[in-house]
Amino acid sequence: MQVLDDLWIRIAVWFRGLLESFLPPWAVQLTMDVLGILLLIVLGIVVVLAFTYMERKVIARVGDRIGPNRAGPFGIFQAIADAIKMLTKEDVTPTNADRWLFLAAPIVVIIPAVLLYAVLPFGRGMVGVDLNIAVVFVVAMGGIPILTMLMAGWASNNKYALLGAFRTVAQLISYEVPMVVALLTVVLLAGTMSTVGIVEAQASFPFALVTPVAFVVYMLAGLAELNRTPFDLLEADSEIVAGYFIEYSGMKFAMFFLAEYINLFMVAGMITTLFLAGWQWPILPSWLWFLIKVVVVIFLMMWIRATFPRFRIDQMLGFAWKALVPVSLVNLFLVALVAKVLEPGWARTGVLFVSNLALLAGAIAIMAQVARKREERARAAGEAAIKRYYGSEVR
């Protein structure tokens, strides 16, 4: 098992030794760094191909269909066929568009997405760079795509695209706040912003058990940041066709698509790292544990996509500001208070778990109450309107 656990690191060490036999030290370091980065980027693309295939299969199965099954056995080459298709498609730039901004948006959107992999710990000792401000780095890089979506929507000079872009900005900045506060809770518990440090802090308890509220909030905000159902109203097909990337085709569209799926993997990876103890847990090699957890989280997201209908924009924004932000702030101080009173251990985890569940139940109860009242009010208003229209002796 130990051999399997260290497999990739051993290969890296062996390769380094090979390079050292004929290269000066600085060149060895440079080559290793460049190879590592290229490996991360290639991994990013492979992951995208794998998850587009998985998504199509999962959604198809939920919808009682078969999904891709023509290209290769079980259609596993479908994703590769798609990639080739994207490469050879004509790239149309609308005459009305702002040409340079239109070109810049897909270039800028992919850069932060690719950069994010640098801080994701894939296994024990397998991280691009163990940055001591990794969490802030992730938040910062996650903020750049918002700008590029507005660039794309504005540059397209298309009303659907512009509507989509405005919705994107409103949604993403709204869900950024609860997301960041949920991250803050984890940072507070771990006492570090390094992703490796956070994983190591979860040796005894994964943070999903310590603070379920932060986990749920981060999961929901993550879905919103990814523009996935039920928060996909910025590319709602039935309303605004495709949203901000409606005018994009060929490789430029593929850049947006790639960035979206890289971010999907990244959010699932962050959920794994921050809440599910990352690569820890016994028996299986660390990198395999990481992969299993990420796939489970992504499967959960696909399941949600296949199950829930889309929000309306007022519901979506209201949910962020009136539900998630207060709940995550209350949770932050709840965790801070308990962390001050109790020492780390079973007692603290138990108290936090129970109080978090109570907070979650309370929040859901209040939301249900508000929703019920609103429904009653709407029904009363509707009945009054009918009465006004038909007179009092209706039916």
In degrees and rounded to multiples of 5, residue 91 shows phi and psi of -105, 105
By the rule CB under 8 A, 238 interacts with another protein: no
Q: Which stretch binds another protein (CB under 8 A): 49-57, 207-215, 319-327, 372-380?
A: 319-327
Interaction with another protein in 159-188: which residues (CB under 8 A)?
159-160, 162, 166, 169-170, 173-174, 176-177, 180-181, 184-185, 187-188
Spatial distance between the Cα atoms of 346 and 380, rounded to a whole number of angstroms: 51
List the one residue from 255, 266, 301, 323 that touches another protein (CB under 8 A): 255
CB 300 to another protein: min, Å: 26
User: Across-strand partners of 123?
Assistant: 126
List the one residue from 339, 342, 359, 367 that touches another protein (CB under 8 A): 339
Q: Which stretch binds another protein (CB under 8 A): 93-101, 210-218, 355-363, 381-389?
A: 93-101
Interaction with another protein in 189-218: which residues (CB under 8 A)?
191-193
List the one residue from 31, 157, 280, 355 that touches another protein (CB under 8 A): 157
CB 308 to another protein: min, Å: 20
**How many residues in the shown chain lie near another protein by CB under 8 A?**
78
Residue 124 identity: R
- Residue 130 or 200 with smaller CB distance to another protein: 130
By the rule CB under 8 A, 7 interacts with another protein: no
Spatial distance between the Cα atoms of 333 and 349, rounded to a whole number of angstroms: 15
25-64 mask for another protein (x: CB under 8 A)? -----x--xx--xx-xx-----------------------
Q: Which stretch binds another protein (CB under 8 A): 3-11, 287-295, 337-345, 383-391?
A: 337-345
By the rule CB under 8 A, 381 interacts with another protein: no
Tokens in use for 158?
């298309």
- Residue 20 or 383 with smaller CB distance to another protein: 20
Q: Do residues 191 and 135 make contact, with C-beta atoms less than 8 angstroms apart?
A: no
Q: Which stretch binds another protein (CB under 8 A): 56-64, 108-116, 274-282, 355-363?
A: 108-116
Interaction with another protein in 123-152: which residues (CB under 8 A)?
128-132, 135-136
List the one residue from 106, 121, 142, 230 that touches another protein (CB under 8 A): 106
By the rule CB under 8 A, 336 interacts with another protein: yes
- Residue 53 or 154 with smaller CB distance to another protein: 154
CB 298 to another protein: min, Å: 23
By the rule CB under 8 A, 247 interacts with another protein: yes
Spatial distance between the Cα atoms of 211 and 206, rounded to a whole number of angstroms: 9
By the rule CB under 8 A, 111 interacts with another protein: yes
- Residue 69 or 93 with smaller CB distance to another protein: 93
